[in-house]
Amino acid sequence: MLTLTIDNPTVENIFREGFNANKEKFLEFIQESYRKIKHLDGFERSLKQAKLQESGELEETTLDDLIDELKNSPHA
């Protein structure tokens, strides 16, 4: 069990006003935000790789190579 203590007036205000002090809704929001950040990180890495491949700085890889890389990534 985790107890959440908010020691930041701005976050506390968001919790009270934006979520009506509902812990479940607040934690749901945090979980969803975390998932979105992880997806955006993956898209960002893919974009960087595509730019490097386009410029010739990085050898092109196959879709299977990318899938294997994602499966083996600690952030996946």
13 or 2, which is more confident: 13
The answer to whether residue 75 scores a pLDDT higher than 90 is no
With a CB cutoff of 8 Å and minimum separation 6, the contacts of 66 are 46, 49
Domain ranges of the chain: 9-72
**Model's pTM, two decimal places?**
0.55
Contact 25, 32 (CB under 8 A): no
> In what helix (H) or strand (E) does residue 34 lie, and over which residues does it extend?
helix 23-55
How far is Cα 38 from Cα 23, in angstroms, rounded to an integer? 23
pLDDT in tens, 30-51: 999 999 999 999 888 888 888 8
| CB half-sphere exposure, 70, CA atoms < 13 A | 15
